Structure 1
Amino acid sequence: MANILITQHIGGAGVQMLREARHHVTYRDKTEPMGQAELQTAVRHAEGLVCLLTDRVDTAVFDAAPQLKMIANVAVGYDNIDVRAATARGILVSNTPDVLTEATADHAFALLLALARRLPEADAYMRAGKYEKFEMFPPLLGLDVYGKTLGIVGMGRIGAAVARRGALGFGMKVLYTANSVKTAVEQELGAQKVTFPQLLHQSDFVSINVPLTPETYHLFTLDTFRQMKPTACLINTARGPIIKEDDLLVALRQGTIWGAALDVFEAEPEMTPGLADYHDRLLLAPHLGSATGETRRKMVETAVSNLLAGLAGQTPPNALNAEQLV
């Protein structure tokens, strides 16, 4: 029997899985993250940790948890965890890929379509009673999507799923950046690997699907936006700090790019001052990429299954550092 800390609300099913496995579970059933001091105190006797992307698990946490053996992150991204420091201490770390791929890609494409056809603005327009007559060229003219060029920044699981929706559903030409050639995606979709500047210059819609790393931090700045088409749209369902939001506001106000849709934010859950007040072709959502009931339940189940495997001395299916610990 192991002591397990669950840092935030994950629903009852995952907690029950751990208790049925006869582990001692401390469940903090709240929807906001702990402060660092509180987390360091709570994790003191934990052998297993279930955490969310808003929990910062760093060296100070590891120092406070000498018995910690396994961390199960309920997310596909793991920039909230110092994996290198965990590895140095022999602590397994896992994430939840695959189960959220399709839901997140659905959401990214929903943002793309809603932005291109200005649906939030149209809804507000109707509710304000402004629709008085049909016009051939109304105030809310949008952009065509079918047959346009879709740029995927990061052709991983989610990037490929977004590309598939664009190519197969909307006849879009797919360009992508990645660390290696994605042969299967190229064969399936006719996608073309290009340089980052080439993608910026040629794409009508740019979808961000890279993880947050030192290399991708502020990948999109005013200089980046100036390399994009003035009719281009940017969609971010990855991590907020990949975009420098102050620069995005400048680009939108100056007409450097046509529009943007953000599901994640640089200082989430806070927004850069001015972002919430800017309404013209800017769509904002509160980190809903994987937010369907079915997908979120699968994420929890996957994280718990990873943890149970790790605590049993097995290699978790989604271990991030198992090879380094061998």
Structure 2
Amino acid sequence: MPPFILHPDLQSPLPADIESKVYAGHYEVKAFKPSDFADIPDNLWAGASGLVCYHEVTVNTQLLNRMPNCRVVVRAGVGFDNIDLKAAGERGIAVCNTPDYGTTDVADHAIALTMALLRGITAYNQAILMDPRSGWRFEGAPHVRRLSTQVFGVVGLGRIGTATALRARALGMRVVFFDPYRTTGTELSLGIERVGSLAALLEMSDVVSLHTPLSAETKHMMNAETLRQMKPGAVLINTGRGGCVDLEALADALLSRRVAAAGLDVLEAEPPSEASALMTAWRAPDSPIRDRLIVTPHAAFYSPSSLIDLRSKSATTALKFLLTGDSRDCANRDFLDPAKAEARAAAGRP
């Protein structure tokens, strides 16, 4: 069998034409839809030179043990919390992500959620839809504000956080950020302000926009305690990782009006359970948070252009690593066993 790269949960219609074009002359593609994951035969797992996966595959010890010839796992996306970095590295398998495919799309979405709430777009639309006559009231939206009076707080100033911060600044908002991992002087180069703690940012921000990866440090970073620390009347936006927000605590904060409104593109469980506290409160008849919560289906990354970028960039990352043995987007370099990586590379050479 010619060398191939396995795509076990392709999010686009088959065949994998974009990926095939990238790999042409080097590797073939073996691609499957997520619904067919369980039917992928053992010989394809065992023979794959590389794995390109989305969010529907958990790359753990059990799966890695089925892939003795694999040299690289590429996450078609930014987050890689579904991949065991250490287990892969110990086996000499590099793990890479695709960090730049949806930067502008996600930043645009974070600002769109903010604008929809602070300019009352969804509330106005819903009121007129339900009753065109009585809903025709400019004072009918609960949280309309002049943007230039607002402090926009960014938690996590990576690529997307930076792009979002610059958009908020362009709209006239005062922008502050908290990110202990960004170097001193970042604020000067971007023309925004740094604060020294999450608590300080929450206390002063009218809008809090989350852009952190999911880790032990950030899981439920927005919880009952931190939600209480938010400025009264503040809005929470999350286009980062769903697990960064405790939704039970957010439901309580919205119902008590401690948090004015929220715009969520990511949830801890996707799709959400209809029985969850947040969904129950939001979907209830005469819900007090109906106009104060916007939920989108993990779609911030999406546009037809971004999906093409994602497919081509993730395939290019896999091919480059297999051809050169290196990638600037390697996420598990600290765990990678160089001797085992070289052995896997040698085994895969003609």
TM-score if structure 1 supplies the norm length?
Answer: 0.91
Structure-1 residue corresponding to 2:25: 21
Q: Secondary structure at the match of 2:47?
A: coil
Structure-1 residue corresponding to 2:279: 276
CA contact (8 A) 1:17 1:304 kept: no
Structure-2 residue corresponding to 1:167: 169
CA distance in structure 1 between the partners assigned to 2:191 and 2:166 by the alignment: 7
Structure-1 residue corresponding to 2:326: 315
Given the superposition, is the C-alpha separation of residues 182 and 270 from structure 1 closer, same or farther in structure 2, using an over 3 Å criterion?
Answer: farther
Gaps of 5+ in 2: 283-289, 339-350
Structure 1 residue aligned with 2:106, among 104, 107, 125?
Answer: 104
Given the superposition, is the C-alpha separation of residues 171 and 68 from structure 1 closer, same or farther in structure 2, using an over 3 Å criterion?
Answer: same
More displaced 10-residue stretch of structure 1: 132-141 or 105-114? 132-141
Q: Secondary structure at the match of 2:217?
A: coil
More displaced 10-residue stretch of structure 1: 144-153 or 235-244? 144-153
CA distance in structure 1 between the partners assigned to 2:85 and 2:98 by the alignment: 15
Given the superposition, is the C-alpha separation of residues 177 and 318 from structure 1 closer, same or farther in structure 2, using an over 3 Å criterion?
Answer: closer
CA distance in structure 2 between the partners assigned to 1:41 and 1:222 by the alignment: 48
Alignment of 1:240-259 (within 5 A): 240-259=242-261
CA distance in structure 2 between the partners assigned to 1:41 and 1:216 by the alignment: 38
Q: Secondary structure at the match of 1:276?
A: helix
Given the superposition, is the C-alpha separation of residues 196 and 39 from structure 1 closer, same or farther in structure 2, using an over 3 Å criterion?
Answer: farther
Shift of 1:38: 6.1
CA distance in structure 1 between the partners assigned to 2:42 and 2:203 by the alignment: 47
More helix by share: 2
CA contact (8 A) 2:85 2:95 kept: yes
More displaced 10-residue stretch of structure 1: 142-151 or 298-307? 142-151
Q: Which has the larger radius of gyration?
A: 2
Alignment of 1:134-145 (within 5 A): 135=137, 137-138=139-140, 140-145=142-147
Structure-2 residue corresponding to 1:288: 299
More displaced 10-residue stretch of structure 1: 260-269 or 313-322? 313-322
Given the superposition, is the C-alpha separation of residues 59 and 244 from structure 1 closer, same or farther in structure 2, using an over 3 Å criterion?
Answer: same
Q: Kindly provide the CA deviation profile for residues 38-60 of structure 1, in whole angstroms up to 9, marking residues without a partner as x.
A: 69785233221010023211111
Shift of 1:240: 0.5
How many aligned residue pairs are there? 324
Given the superposition, is the C-alpha separation of residues 18 and 139 from structure 1 closer, same or farther in structure 2, using an over 3 Å criterion?
Answer: closer
Gaps of 5+ in 1: none
Q: State the one-letter code of the partner of 1:290.
A: F
Structure-1 residue corresponding to 2:220: 218
Given the superposition, is the C-alpha separation of residues 9 and 136 from structure 1 closer, same or farther in structure 2, using an over 3 Å criterion?
Answer: closer
More displaced 10-residue stretch of structure 1: 129-138 or 165-174? 129-138
Shift of 1:318: 2.1
Q: State the one-letter code of the partner of 1:316.
A: S
Q: Kindly provide the CA deviation profile for residues 188-232 of structure 1, in whole angstroms up to 9, marking residues without a partner as x.
A: 223223211101111100010010001111111111111011210
Q: State the one-letter code of the partner of 1:276.
A: M
Given the superposition, is the C-alpha separation of residues 38 and 25 from structure 1 closer, same or farther in structure 2, using an over 3 Å criterion?
Answer: closer
Given the superposition, is the C-alpha separation of residues 133 and 303 from structure 1 closer, same or farther in structure 2, using an over 3 Å criterion?
Answer: closer
CA contact (8 A) 2:235 2:259 kept: yes
Root mean square deviation, CA, Å: 2.4
More displaced 10-residue stretch of structure 1: 252-261 or 176-185? 176-185
Q: Kindly provide the CA deviation profile for residues 272-323 of structure 1, in whole angstroms up to 9, marking residues without a partner as x.
A: 6143341240100001121011112111111101111111133134222346
1:7 aligns with 2:11: no
CA contact (8 A) 2:19 2:312 kept: no
Structure-2 residue corresponding to 1:52: 54
